[in-house]
Amino acid sequence: MHEIKRIAFLGIGGVGGYYGGKLASCYAHSTEMEIIFIARNENEKAIREKGLLLRTASGEEYIHPKLISHDPVEIGTIDLLICSVKAYNLEESLQQIQSCISPDTIILPLLNGVNNRTRIHALLPWVNCWQGCAYIVSRLIQPGIVHETGQWNQLLFGDENVSGEIIQKVESIFTKAGINAKGIKQITPVLWTKFIFLSPIATMTTLLNAPIGAVLNEEQQKNNLFRLIQEIASIANAQGIGLPVTIVADTLNKIESLPFETYSSMHFDHYRGKKTEIDSLTGQVCKLGKSMGIPTPAHDEALALLKGS
């Protein structure tokens, strides 16, 4: 079985900073495990000078990875590469460190969207790419500082085409660091379960510039949210993803359980004038629907309004 001794995090934001920080803290004095942060610019500078400040409900900790760099020569070959860059930066970020990726490297993308493995294989067709999703509320609030809030924190990952043994090995690496992680061979339905939950929230909170509680309190907007969920379910069902027959009602119930003031990261990026993941969330549904001949009028209308705003 392939040894996993060098783990690199590509993208030290809210997700990569939290999971990378937890692993770097746990394995700081390990002679068997090396945790690497791949970062650039102000974030790299801040972590290099002071370490990564990780703030959680249990306190604050300055964490120093074994290596922080964006130089492929300095980084070297990686055993497990965890990608947590924004979806629109995926290809460019991987190309910059392509020489660090060998045929034995496992790539685990923790990005929003359901087509990340397809995109990675289009760039690196020979690579061993898993799938994963993170349920976490964590943000890079300034260079070198990651703040994790909320009690809902779970990392799910796996691959249908590899042995359960290697999946369990990676799971144990995470859980030893205090991460609520679960390795699952049949990961695709898990990925879609998150997508059908996250994408409508991102679309509606961004479109209306309002928290999810306000969306749910307005009958017409709640109906639009319901239509978005239904359209994603139709596409998933047509692809034979294997979601539960109750997925639409289950997803709406989950959304209704969120705090009133819940926004999405896409909302924050949009209203700060930053690049957003509109194409990998709202737009991806439109694209899939069109390719499969499945109407997505709610997404089409939302995407047009979002692109025009």
pLDDT tens digit sequence for 275-304: 999 999 999 999 999 999 999 999 999 999
Give the pLDDT of residue 151: 66
Whole-model pTM over 0.85: yes
Tokens of 140: 């890079």
Three-state DSSP class for residue 105: strand
Give the pLDDT of residue 163: 84
Reported confidence tier of residue 191, pLDDT bands at 50, 70, 90: very high
Q: Which of 210, 258, 249 is nearest to 226 (CA)?
A: 249
CA distance to 204, 209, 300, per residue, from 296 (Å) = 15, 22, 6
- Complete domains list, the chain, with CATH: 6-185 (3.40.50.720), 190-308 (1.10.1040.10)
CA dihedral 19, 20, 21, 22 (to 10 degrees): 50
In angstroms, rounded to a whole number, what is the distance separating the alpha carbons of residues 52 and 42?
Answer: 12
Q: What percent of the chain has pLDDT over 90?
A: 90
Give the pLDDT of residue 1: 52
Give the pLDDT of residue 162: 87
Give 7-20 pLDDT, tens digit per residue: 999 999 999 999 99
Give the pLDDT of residue 309: 58
Interstrand relation of 52-56 and 59-63 (parallel, antiparallel or unpaired): antiparallel
CA atoms within 13 A on the CB side of 116: 30
Contact call for residues 157 and 215 (beta carbons, < 8 A): no
Angle of the 219-238 helix axis to the 247-256 helix axis, nearest 10: 140
Contact call for residues 127 and 107 (beta carbons, < 8 A): yes
Instruction: Give the other-Cβ count within 10 Å of 96's Cβ.
Output: 16
Task: Tell me the one-letter amino acid at 289.
Answer: G
> Which helix (DSSP H) or strand (DSSP E) does residue 49 occupy?
helix 41-50
Give the pLDDT of residue 3: 86
In angstroms, rounded to a whole number, what is the distance separating the alpha carbons of residues 12 and 14?
Answer: 7
Tokens of 297: 């009028």
Give the pLDDT of residue 153: 87
CA dihedral 58, 63, 66, 70 (to 10 degrees): 110
Give 51-96 pLDDT, tens digit per residue: 999 999 889 999 999 999 999 999 999 999 999 999 999 999 999 9
**Residue given tokens 């979601």 in the structure block:** 243
Give 144-162 pLDDT, tens digit per residue: 999 998 767 899 999 998 8
In angstroms, rounded to a whole number, what is the distance separating the alpha carbons of residues 302 and 229?
Answer: 13
Q: Which of 39, 80, 64, 113 is nearest to 280 (CA)?
A: 113
Evaluate if residue 253 carries a pLDDT over 60.
Answer: yes
Strand ranges, E, within 34-121? 34-38, 52-56, 59-63, 67-69, 78-83, 101-109
Average pLDDT over residues 119-138: 94
